[in-house]
């Protein structure tokens, strides 16, 4: 459609509300031309505030927002050349699809043939051509979502801003609409800033994902990198489901071998994790992160298996594709405020098994036949362990 594209830059942006609440702190983000960037974080982390500052719906306390080559701090929302898609699509119930999409163009007094051309092109791309004469009431949730996108796209904005546009939909429709947003936004190629609290939405939609905690940016990276190399324990716990297990451990050398002490158990460690890589953290307590998907039922055998942890099965959850196994092992959980907060959000209790015994969550193959109360040998993919500084929470590599 030949829409204008532009870079959006947040340069040391901060927000302090009138009552003194600091919602956003020194936020630096550069959303490239045509990039889809997702801002994600738990409730209250400041993501909506950040988006509203870009939109012009909230004053910017500190720093600068640039859209294209313009500083927009003092520009009213309507002059910022952006389009917003909200949670509630805010369609006009008395107008049909054509008129809903055309609404903003009529306000701007574009000539009728131009309006018809733009609406037809958007409706074609969005698969709405047959529904142009229907009112919103006669559309499915997904179709309404597309009308909202159509209305935004015909204005040919420099950037799209989306604030949890899928949160009102049921789970199934949300998955379908997520795919549609991904497809359409790539087709349109418009710079997009998308806000959500849902890590799956963030991971599946974003070219890059920015993780925010209490107003402070924790990491911004492509989804796979966030998963493979979380910068700190917060990101490690936030990205991934079930969340990463975090336990107290200590790497130490036995002769020329590297081992990991987890409570009473000692695990042999092979490259790529080496004593040199552990560096100054050798022989010191660290937080060891193990993703549930890097734990397997040892009795089923597994290529990369180099270490085994013995545990007792507390609970199994059949997902069909996987078997989620909750285990107790004699090692201590890492329980920081972040871990507690994230665990609460995920509905798990990291303290459930007491101080020196830990609940580990594993994602086993559905072929596993483990039962509650049984002792089970769990193969740990030690090549995929994560290690964090216990005081700072930062990844040590």
Residues at the site binding ligand ATP, with contacts judged by CB under 6 A: 17, 19, 21, 23, 41, 43-49, 197
In whole angstroms, the minimum distance from the beta carbon of 22 to ligand ATP comes to 8
- Closer residue to ligand ATP (CB): 197 or 363: 197
Q: How far apart are the first and last CA of the chain?
A: 45
Asked, as a colleague might, if the bond just before 272 is cis with ω within 30 of 0, I would say yes
- Closer residue to ligand ATP (CB): 49 or 395: 49
- Closer residue to ligand ATP (CB): 14 or 350: 14
- Closer residue to ligand ATP (CB): 44 or 68: 44
Q: What residue number has its CB nearest to ligand ATP?
A: 48
In whole angstroms, the minimum distance from the beta carbon of 218 to ligand ATP comes to 13
Specify the DSSP element, H or E, that contains 322.
none
In whole angstroms, the minimum distance from the beta carbon of 21 to ligand ATP comes to 4
Sheet holding 22-31, edge to edge: 22-31, 8-16, 62-67, 70-71
Of the candidates 361, 357, 263, 353, the residue with the CA atom closest to the CA atom of residue 315: 361
In whole angstroms, the minimum distance from the beta carbon of 38 to ligand ATP comes to 13
Say how far apart CA 169 and CA 397 lie, in whole Å.
Answer: 39
In whole angstroms, the minimum distance from the beta carbon of 162 to ligand ATP comes to 13
**Cα-to-chain-centroid distance, residue 38:** 7
Residues 359 and 277: beta-carbon distance below 8 Å: no
H helix and E strand count, the chain: 10, 20
In whole angstroms, the minimum distance from the beta carbon of 206 to ligand ATP comes to 16
In whole angstroms, the minimum distance from the beta carbon of 8 to ligand ATP comes to 18
In whole angstroms, the minimum distance from the beta carbon of 177 to ligand ATP comes to 19
Q: What CA–CA distances, in Å, run from 81 to 3, 47, 149, 380?
A: 11, 21, 15, 51
- Closer residue to ligand ATP (CB): 77 or 110: 77
- Closer residue to ligand ATP (CB): 23 or 147: 23
- Closer residue to ligand ATP (CB): 90 or 372: 90
Place of tokens 């397997």: 296
Say how far apart CA 270 and CA 262 lie, in whole Å.
Answer: 16
In whole angstroms, the minimum distance from the beta carbon of 40 to ligand ATP comes to 9
In whole angstroms, the minimum distance from the beta carbon of 179 to ligand ATP comes to 23
Please list the residues that pair with 117 across neighbouring strands.
none
- Closer residue to ligand ATP (CB): 49 or 218: 49
DSSP conformation class of 255: T
Q: What CA–CA distances, in Å, run from 235 to 119, 249, 284?
A: 41, 19, 23
Q: Quote the tokens at residue 223.
A: 């989804």
Phi, psi of 11 (to 5 degrees): -115, 105
Residues 189 and 5: beta-carbon distance below 8 Å: yes
- Closer residue to ligand ATP (CB): 225 or 345: 345
Under 8 Å CB-to-CB from 209, ≥6 apart: which residues?
A: 37, 38, 40, 202, 203, 220, 221, 222, 223, 226, 239
- Closer residue to ligand ATP (CB): 47 or 291: 47
């Amino acid at each position: 459609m030949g829409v204008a594209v532009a870079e959006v830059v947040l340069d040391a942006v901060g927000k302090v509300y009138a009552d003194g609440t600091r919602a956003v702190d020194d936020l630096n983000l550069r959303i490239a031309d045509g990039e889809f960037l997702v801002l994600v974080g738990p409730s209250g982390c400041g993501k909506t505030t950040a988006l509203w500052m870009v939109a012009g719906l909230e004053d910017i306390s500190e720093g600068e927002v640039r859209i294209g080559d313009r500083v927009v701090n003092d520009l009213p929302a309507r002059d910022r050349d952006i389009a917003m898609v909200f949670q509630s699509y805010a369609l006009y119930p008395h107008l049909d699809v054509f008129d809903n999409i055309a609404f903003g163009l009529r306000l701007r007094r574009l000539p009728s043939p131009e309006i018809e051309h733009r609406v037809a092109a958007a409706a074609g791309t969005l698969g709405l051509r047959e529904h142009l004469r229907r009112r919103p009431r006669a559309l499915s949730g997904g179709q309404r979502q597309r009308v909202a996108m159509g209305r935004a796209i015909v204005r040919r904005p420099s950037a799209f801003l989306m604030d949890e546009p899928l949160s009102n939909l049921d789970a199934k429709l949300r998955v379908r609409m997520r795919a549609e947003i991904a497809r359409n936004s790539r087709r349109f190629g418009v710079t997009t800033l998308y806000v959500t609290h849902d890590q799956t939405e963030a991971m599946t939609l974003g070219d890059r994902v920015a993780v925010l905690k209490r107003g402070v940016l924790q990491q911004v990276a492509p989804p796979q990198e966030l998963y493979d190399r979380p910068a700190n324990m917060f990101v490690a716990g936030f990205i991934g489901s079930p969340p990463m297990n975090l336990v107290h451990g200590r790497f130490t050398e036995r002769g020329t071998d590297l081992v990991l002490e987890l409570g009473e158990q000692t695990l042999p460690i092979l490259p790529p994790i080496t004593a040199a890589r552990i560096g100054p953290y050798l022989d010191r307590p660290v937080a060891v992160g193990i993703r549930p998907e890097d734990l397997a039922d040892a009795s089923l055998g597994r290529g990369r298996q180099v270490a085994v942890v013995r545990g007792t099965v507390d609970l199994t959850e059949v997902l069909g594709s996987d078997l989620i196994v909750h285990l107790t092992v004699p090692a201590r959980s890492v329980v920081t405020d972040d871990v507690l907060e994230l665990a609460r959000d995920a509905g798990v209790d990291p303290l459930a098994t007491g101080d020196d015994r830990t609940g580990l969550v594993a994602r086993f193959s559905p072929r596993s036949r483990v039962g509650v109360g049984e002792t089970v040998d769990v193969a740990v993919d030690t090549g995929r362990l994560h290690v964090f500084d216990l005081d700072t929470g930062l990844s040590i590599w």
